[in-house]
Structures are given as structure tokens and as C-alpha cells.
Amino acid sequence: MRSFNNSVGRIIAFWLNESRRMKADPGQFFVLVMLPVLMITALTPMALAVLRMKGYSNANGAEQSVPGMAVLFSFTSTTILGGSFFREHHWNTWERLRASPALPFEIILGKCGPVFVLSMCQLSIVWCVGILAFHLHISGSLFTIAILTGFLSWATLGIGMALVALCRTIDQIGIIGNIGSMVLGGLSGAFVPIDLHSSSGMVARFSPLFWALKAYQSVIFEGKGILDNGFACLLLFGFGTVGFLVGAARFRMADAKIGRT
Amino acid sequence: MLSIKGLKKSYNNHEVLKGVDLTVAPGEIVGLIGVNGAGKSTLTSIVAGLRSADEGCVTICGVDALKDPHASHTHLGLVAQEIGLYPILTGWQNLDFFGRLVALRSQSRKRRIEEVADSLGLTDFLHNPVETLSGGQRRRLHTAVAMLHRPSVLLLDEPTVGADIQSRQKLLDEVRRFAAEGSAVVYATHYFPEVETLGASVAILHEGRIVARGDSYSIINLHAAPSVELAFEGEIPTNLSEFAKIGDQGNDEGQILSRVVIPVRHPGRDLAGIITNLGIEASRLRSVEFHQPSLETAFLRITGRKNTDLEEEEINAVLQ
């Protein structure tokens, strides 16, 4: 029992430490929120034209740009998680963690938790700005959007954990995270609807961003609920779980990582 | 409290540790000294569970540290050579985090943070971000983290590298106090005066083995002899030519003096013998200096010349 309590205490310690680090560097969160909002502003007129062309006469463009940018920027949590692990090597605190009683699963849980919350906050703000500033009309419920956002954050976090275990340098994870989000987001229809570039349709099905965007738009346009999107939720959960399993299998406390660009 | 037996470690077929045996009792400070690359950091990192060993056994407070490193970590404090702190957090936040990891509860954690901060002179800038602290302040904070939970075994790997005199003194005082409270301390360094200041016993690590172990006094007595330095006008007398000449130097009167260092066992008596044996050459003797043996000279003898018999022969040759 005491061992369990100590374990919980250490996970809380990591949560607190990560939160303090995020609080000490608020610019990071500001960029995470501001970039998608700026992109929404830039892409909404184009999205409006595309949606009108597709026959959505009442659309205002936000129906494409807001969920598109939400899924695109959800992928940034992979680089944030990567930074959280890799900077420990740069600051030499990783050796301290290894010489402490903390177990690997406590470190992973303690680091993933705050990044999950950060990702949820980031996406929630993007959705709120979309509704309030860009007059996004959602036919379905916000609750469904929130649940889908949870599954999307789980998926990107799992992929992030796999990258943490597989990459050797912070540069590798940064490049994969940033370019990966653009490529996967583009293929998945984050910028323009996927049926306008149908050749990438099959490839997009291997991306969690595609399933998230498909589910979001079914809620926005068709008012579908969480049960209607059960398959998408299952796939998103699967992406995340496979990512975590790969991460757990390949994660080595003793691996030398380079946490400096 | 800390027991190391037959510890071996190789990197790419290069044997760094060739069977290290070392025991440290509660309250004891062991100065682990060795040249760069002797294996000090490898040894401390294996004990801390950061590296695996090829062979051997490490026991910390009865826990097998190689088989169950996590269990041993609750008894262990590590001050690694590189400073390991979160630069964007304050000193207090760093201490609080690492205090939580070692399961210090709220009140005792707060109390211990105040205690270590006070004893290491950190109180005034405890709430400043680490990135704004000086090198010496960071070094002290780095050490404070390892001492927070009063570990039974404290490992320090060159903890004063880059520290200013004030920081160095505070660290040494705190290490001494820590041992006095009952912790076993391993202090890896190549600054010999620190080992003497700490009143530590000595373990000399050379070529992968502990080649000398004991208190400083006995190691110095066993491995280093005092010496006398003689300065002669003109050349060194022929019966002293086998000893190390340390160069020529002019004096105030424009004379060229040749200097020679001779190891002795009993400075006064042996010097009298040397001067008697010099005969008429003693008239060219211009100065005499005694050199007391130190840990450094003992270390150099042990690691540089493995056979001290040679020196015994040298001394005897002069006396006869």
C-alpha cells in the first residue's frame, strides 16, 4: 500500500513539475493557440468558396477551417511531449531521475498527463474561438466534439510516445512532429476537403487526423453523435494505444538522447 | 552500509574496472582518488544504477543495488559531475520536485528544503530561477538536491568542479556534517587537499583496481617519504648524481646553483648522514630545504612508480 502511495505521489510530482515548467514558459501555449487561430483566419475565405462549391449554401467556411486546424495542430503535442523528455537529457536531470526511486511507467504517466491536458486546452480554445469569433455552427452537440477531442489527443499523444522512444535527438522528433502534422493534415483534408484530392484518400485512412476530421465534420454538418462515430473513436483509440505500446516496448531509461538542437 | 565486491566493467573490450572491492562504513567519508579516466565516474555511476556492471556485487544498506536498483535508490543520494537542475524553475521548485520523488511528505519536505538551503547558503536566492544563479550557487543547489532525503549513502563525483572558494568551503563543511550524522560518503575527486580537509579515508583507484586503501596518514607513511632539496654551487657532487636534478638557478651573488632532491626516511638523521658522506664537497652546499610528504606525493608514487623498493635502495645507497 505504501509503495502504491509513493508511486501515486511520484506521478503527481511529475505532473506538478511539468505544469510548473509550462507555466514558466507561457509563450509556448500562446503560440499553440495563436497559430491555429491565425491559420483559421487565413483559410476561412478559401474554405467558404470550397464549401459553397460543394453545395453547402449556408456554410461560412469555419465548418472546414476550424476542425481542419484543430486536427492539424493537435499533432503539436507530439513535439511538446518529445521536448518534455529530451530536455531532461539536455539539463542533465535525466540522470537524476534514473538515480531516483521513480519507475519508468511513473515518468511516462507523469509526463503524458499534463501534455494531454495541454492538448485538450489548446483544442478547446480553438473550438471556442471558432464558435465565438468565426460563427461556426455545429449541428450536433459540443459534448460529442469534446469526446472526439479527447480521443484525438490520446491518438497524438500515443504517437508522440512512440516517437520519444524511437527518436534519438530532439531535432528528429521536432522535424517529424512539424512536417508530419503538415503532411498528415494535408492528406487528411485539413486544408481543403479530401474529396478535392481524392488520389490521397486511401493513404489518408492510415492517419488519425483523417478519422478525427471526418468525425468532427459529421457532427458539424449532419449533427451525428458519439455512437455514430464509434468506428472513428475506436480507430483513434487504437492509434494512440498502438503508439503507447510501441513506446513502452522501445522505451529505455538508459538510452542516450540528445536534447539540444 | 556500502559494499562493493569484485566489480568489473568493460567498454568495447577495454577493461575499465578490473575487480573493485570497497566497503564504506556509516559515518565514514572515503576520498576516491584517481587520475582522469581511472574509472571513478564509472564506479559511482554503477553504484547509482546508471550503468550496468559486467561482474561483481554492490550492496547498499543490505539491498543488492545491481539486481534491484530502484529499491537501493531510496537509500542513495547522487551528486553527479554535471549539474542536473531545471533552469527555468526556481531553486525551491527544483528541491520540492526531487523531494517529492523520494517520498518526503509535505511538512518534512518543507522543513528539509529550509534546512539544506540554510546549511548550503541558498536561502537568499531560493526563489530565483536557476538560470539566473551563478555557477557556484547552482553547484550548491545541485548538491542540496542529493542531500534532501538524508540518504544513507551519498556519492559525490567531483562535486566542486568550477565552484568558487566560498561554495567549495560550504560544500565540504556540509559533506563533513552529513557524514557526522551517520551517512556513508564516497567523494570522488582529484583535488587532494579536499580529501585532507574532509578528514576522509582514502581509496586510490588505479588501472581499474583499488591499489591503496586506508586513512591518509597511513597511506602517506607507507607510500611517500619526506625529501630534502640540496642546492650546490657548481655541479652536483658525483655521489649524488643518481638523484633527480631539478635544474640550475642563479643566486643573488651571481653563482649558478644546481639542485637535487633526495628522498629520506628520517630527515634530520639522514641529512646528517648525507652531509658526512659528501666530505669536502659539502663546502659547496649553499641551501637545504625539507619537503614533507603529502597525499599527492604518495599518490604519484603509487600510480607513477609501482615499486617503492627502488627508493629504499636509493636512500640506503646515500646513507652507506
Residue of B nearest to A100 (CA): B73
Looking up residue B275, the CATH number of its domain turns out to be 3.30.70
Q: State whether B200 and B103 are in the same domain.
A: yes
Residue B283 belongs to domain spanning: 222-319
Number of domains in chain B: 2
Q: How confident is the model at residue B72 (pLDDT cuts 50, 70, 90)?
A: very high
Report the distance separating Cα A82 and Cα A162, nearest Å: 10
Answer yes or no: do B215 and B228 share one domain: no
Q: Residue B165 belongs to a domain with what CATH number? A: 3.40.50.300
Q: What are B39's three cell numbers?
A: 574509472
Residues B196 and B305 in one domain: no
Q: What is the mean pLDDT of chain B?
A: 89
Look at residues B220, B246, B275 and tell me which one is the last residue of a structural domain. Answer: B220
SS3 B79: strand
One domain, residues B83 and B204: yes
Residues B27 and B61 in one domain: yes
For residue range A209-234, list pLDDT tens digits in order. Answer: 999 999 999 999 999 999 999 999 99
Residues B159 and B235 in one domain: no
Residue B133 is placed in which grid cell?
544563479
Which pLDDT band holds residue B300 (cuts at 50, 70, 90)?
confident
Write down the pTM of the prediction.
0.86
Distance of CA A31 to the CA centre of its chain: 15
Nearest chain B residue (CA) to A15: B97
- Residues B178, B83 share a domain: yes
The neighbouring-strand residues paired with A217 are: none
- List CB contacts (< 8 A) between A20 and chain B: 89, 93, 97
Name the helix (H) or strand (E) containing B193.
helix B192-198
Residue of B nearest to A2 (CA): B103
- Give strand pairing partners of B76: B153
Question: Least CA distance to B105: which residue of chain A?
Answer: A9
Q: Tell whether B210 and B256 lie within a shared domain.
A: no
Contact assignment for B98 to A99 by CB distance below 8 Å: no
Choose one of B182, B201, B220: the last residue of a domain: B220
**Do B156 and B185 form a contact (C-beta atoms < 8 A)?**
yes
Strand order from edge to edge, sheet including B285-291: B244-250, B256-263, B227-233, B285-291
Tell me what pLDDT residue B252 has. 63
List phi, psi (to 5°) of A132: -80, -40
Q: How far apart are CA A241 and CA B257, in angstroms?
A: 82
Residues B216 and B130 in one domain: yes
Task: Identify the three-state secondary structure at position B308.
Answer: coil
What ipTM was estimated for this complex? 0.92
Q: Which of residues 83-122 of A touch B (CB under 8 A)?
A: 91-103
Domain co-membership, B68 together with B186: yes
In this structure, how many other beta carbons lie within 10 angstroms of the beta carbon of residue B37?
Answer: 9
Chain A / chain B CB contacts < 8 angstroms: 74
| pLDDT tens-digit series, residues A107-164 | 999 999 999 999 999 999 999 999 999 999 999 999 999 999 999 999 999 999 999 9
Question: Are residues B16 and B165 both part of a single domain?
Answer: yes
pLDDT in tens, B198-211: 999 999 999 999 99
B95 interface with A at CB cutoff 8 Å: no
Q: What pLDDT score does B247 carry?
A: 64
The string of pLDDT tens digits covering residues A56-111 is 999 999 999 999 999 999 999 999 999 999 999 999 999 999 999 999 999 999 99
Is residue A217 within 8 Å of A168, Cβ to Cβ? no
Residues 6+ apart with CB under 8 A from B1: B24, B25, B26, B60, B61, B152, B153, B184
Q: Which of B196, B220, B244 is the last residue of a domain?
A: B220
- Crossing angle of helices A170-188/A208-222, nearest 10°? 40
Rounded Cα distance, A10 and A161, in Å? 19
Look at B76 and A98 and tell me if their CB atoms are within 8 Å: no
- B180 in contact with chain A, both atoms CB, cutoff 8 A: no
pLDDT at residue A100 in the model: 95
* Chain B residues inside the 8 Å CB shell of A25: 88
Alpha helices per DSSP H over chain B: 40-47, 69-73, 91-101, 106-119, 135-147, 165-180, 192-198, 216-223, 267-278, 295-304, 309-319
CA A52 distance to own-chain centroid: 29
C-alpha cell at B206: 588505479
**Which of B51, B85, B97 is closest, CB to CB, to A13?**
B97
Contact residues on chain A for B79, CB-CB shorter than 8 A? none
Amino acid at B243: F
Residues B199 and B120 grouped into a single domain: yes
